C-alpha cells in the first residue's frame, strides 16, 4: 500500500486544472445550497426582495420556530424513520441476494428474469400508481406500515447496482470457499457481502434517502394523519397559491441534516471497509 511518493512535473501540470475543475464544481453545488441555508435564517421579507441578498441582512430563527409549531415533527420523524429504515433493511437483503444471483450463477430463465427486472424500471411510477395502490389495498395493507414498506423493497436499479458490484469479484473466491465446505448461503453472507461493503453502503444511503424524501407513496397508501412522514409535513409550507419560503427552507435543512450525517458516517465506514477487507489481486 505505501507507494513511494514520486512527484513528476507532468503530474503538477495535470493537478492544477484538475483542482480548478473540482473547485468550480464544488462552488456550483455550494452556492445554491448556501443561499438556501442563509435564506432559512432570513425573515420572509428579505428572501423575496429587490435587490436580492445573499448573506442575511437581519438574522432570525423565526422560520425554525414556525416549522416546529406548525407540524408534529417528532411523530413525523418517527414515521419517516420507520418507513426509511424498514424499506432499507428489506431492500438490502432482497436486492443484494438478487444482484448476487445474477452476477454469480447461471440458471435457466436468468436472462428473462433479469429483463423482467429491468422492465420494471421503465415505467413511470405515476402510471402504475393507481393499479399498484389497488394491489396493496386488496392485500389488506392500506394505511399500515407494511403497505408503506413492502412494495418499495425490491428495486430494479438496486439489483442492477449490486449485480455490478458482485461482478467485480473474481469467481475463484467462491470456488475456494466451496472447497472449504461453506454452503452457498454461507459463501454469500460470509465471503461475498463483506467484499461489496461500499456498494451496500451506497445502497443503504440511496434507499434511506429515497424513502426519506418520498412524498407521493406515503401519502396515497396511508390515510390517517398519524401515519404522515416528514416529507409530507414539510410539503405543507408549499401552498397551492403561496409559498412560505422561509419555513420551507428551514424545514428542508431540518430534513437534510440526518441524511448528511448518515452520509458522513457511511463514508467513514466504507473507507474502513476498504482498508481491512480490501482485495488482494
Partner 1 sequence: MERVRKYWNKPSRSAYVFVAPSIILLILFSVIPLIMAFGLSFFDVPITMNTAKFIGWNNFVEAFHDSRFLNSLKVTAIFTGLEVPIQVLGSLIVAALISKNNKRNKFLRAVYFLPVICSATVIGIMWRMILHSNIGFITAAMQSMGLGKINFMNTPGLTIYVVSFISIWRSFGISAIIYVTAIQQVSPSLFEAAEMDGAGKIRQFIHITVPSIQPTFWYILMTRFAGALQIFDIIYVTTNGGPNYTTESTVSYIYSRAFSSNSSMGYASAMSVVLFIIIMFITVLMYHRMNKEE
Partner 2 sequence: MKKLKRITAVGLSVILAASLAACGGSDGKEDTKESGKAKGTTITFWNSFTGADGDMLVEMVDKFNKENKDGITVDMDISADFDSQLSTAFAAGEGPTMMLSSSAYRFTYGDYLQDVSDVFDKTDLDKADFIQSYLDYCSDGDSLYFVPFQIVGYYMYWNKDLFEAAGLDPDTPPATWNEWQEWAGKLTDESKNVYGSGISYDYAYQIAHIMQRFGGLAVTDDNGKWKANFAGNAGYEKFLNMYKAMADKGDNPVEADTDSMASAGQIGMTAGGPWVTAGLDTAGVNYGIGLIPQGDAGDMNSVEVIGFAITTAASDEEKEAAYKFIEWWNTENDDGSSPALEWSLTNGFPAYTYSVQDKDEYKENEKLSVMSSADPEAPTDFITDSNFPGINAVLTDVIPEMINAVAFGNASVDAALEKAQSSADKIVEDYNK
CB of 205 to partner 1, least distance (A): 8
Q: Where are the alpha helices (DSSP H) in the chain?
A: 9-40, 44-47, 62-70, 73-104, 110-119, 125-138, 145-149, 156-167, 172-179, 184-186, 193-195, 197-212, 216-221, 230-234, 245-277
Q: Which does 77 bind (CB under 5 to 8 A by kind): partner 2, partner 1, none?
A: none
Instruction: Identify the DSSP state of 181.
Output: T
The interaxial angle of helices 245-277 and 197-212, nearest 10 deg, is 170
Tell me: does residue 181 bind partner 1 (CB under 8 A). Answer: no
- Cα separations in angstroms, 163 against 60, 94, 153, 254: 49, 12, 16, 34
Among 17, 124, 131, 281, binds partner 2 (CB under 8 A): 131
CB of 172 to partner 1, least distance (A): 13
CB of 88 to partner 2, least distance (A): 23
Among 238, 271, 274, 279, binds partner 2 (CB under 8 A): 238
Tell me: does residue 69 bind partner 1 (CB under 8 A). Answer: no
Tell me: does residue 109 bind partner 2 (CB under 8 A). Answer: no
**Rg of the chain over all Cα atoms, to the nearest angstrom:** 24
Q: Which does 232 bind (CB under 5 to 8 A by kind): partner 1, partner 2, none?
A: partner 2
Among 241, 275, 280, 281, binds partner 2 (CB under 8 A): 241
Nearest Cα residue to 64 out of 73, 77, 55: 73
Q: Which does 276 bind (CB under 5 to 8 A by kind): partner 2, partner 1, none?
A: none
Tell me: does residue 192 bind partner 1 (CB under 8 A). Answer: no
Q: Which does 44 bind (CB under 5 to 8 A by kind): partner 2, partner 1, none?
A: partner 2
The interaxial angle of helices 156-167 and 110-119, nearest 10 deg, is 130
CB of 75 to partner 1, least distance (A): 19
The HSE-up count of residue 192 (CA atoms within 13 Å, CB side) is 31
CB of 278 to partner 2, least distance (A): 45
Q: Which stretch binds partner 2 (CB under 8 A): 7-15, 47-55, 169-177, 258-266?
A: 47-55
SS3 56: coil
Among 20, 24, 25, 176, binds partner 1 (CB under 8 A): 25
Tell me: does residue 248 bind partner 1 (CB under 8 A). Answer: yes
Long-range contacts of 55-64 (CB under 8 A, 24+ apart): 62/246, 63/246, 63/247, 63/249, 63/250, 64/40, 64/250, 64/254
Residues 141-180 that bind partner 2 (CB under 8 A): 142
Amino acid at each position: 500500500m505505501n507507494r513511494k511518493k514520486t512527484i513528476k512535473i507532468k503530474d503538477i501540470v495535470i493537478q492544477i486544472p484538475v483542482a480548478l475543475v473540482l473547485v468550480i464544481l464544488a462552488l456550483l453545488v455550494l452556492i445554491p445550497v448556501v443561499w438556501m441555508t442563509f435564506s432559512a435564517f432570513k425573515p420572509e421579507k428579505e428572501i423575496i426582495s429587490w435587490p436580492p441578498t445573499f448573506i442575511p441582512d437581519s438574522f432570525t430563527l423565526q422560520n425554525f420556530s414556525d416549522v416546529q409549531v406548525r407540524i408534529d415533527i417528532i411523530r413525523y420523524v418517527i414515521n419517516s424513520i420507520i418507513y426509511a429504515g424498514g424499506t432499507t433493511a428489506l431492500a438490502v437483503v432482497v436486492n443484494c441476494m438478487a444482484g448476487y444471483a445474477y452476477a454469480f450463477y447461471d440458471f435457466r430463465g436468468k436472462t428473462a428474469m433479469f429483463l423482467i427486472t429491468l422492465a420494471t424500471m421503465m415505467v413511470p411510477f405515476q402510471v402504475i400508481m393507481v393499479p399498484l395502490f389497488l394491489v396493496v389495498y386488496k392485500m389488506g395493507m392500506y394505511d399500515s406500515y407494511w403497505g408503506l414498506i413492502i412494495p418499495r423493497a425490491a428495486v430494479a436499479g438496486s439489483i442492477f447496482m449490486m449485480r455490478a458490484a458482485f461482478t467485480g469479484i473474481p469467481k475463484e473466491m467462491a470456488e475456494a470457499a466451496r472447497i472449504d465446505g461453506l454452503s452457498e448461503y454461507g459463501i454469500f453472507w460470509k465471503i461475498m457481502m463483506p467484499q461489496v461493503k461500499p456498494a451496500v453502503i451506497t445502497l443503504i444511503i440511496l434507499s434511506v434517502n429515497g424513502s426519506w424524501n418520498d412524498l407521493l407513496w406515503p401519502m396515497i397508501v396511508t390515510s390517517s394523519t398519524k401515519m404522515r412522514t416528514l416529507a409530507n409535513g414539510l410539503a405543507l409550507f408549499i401552498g397551492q397559491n403561496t409559498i412560505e419560503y422561509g419555513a420551507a427552507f428551514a424545514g428542508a435543512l431540518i430534513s437534510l441534516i440526518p441524511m448528511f450525517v448518515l452520509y458522513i458516517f457511511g463514508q467513514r465506514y466504507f473507507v474502513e471497509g476498504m482498508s481491512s477487507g480490501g482485495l488482494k489481486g
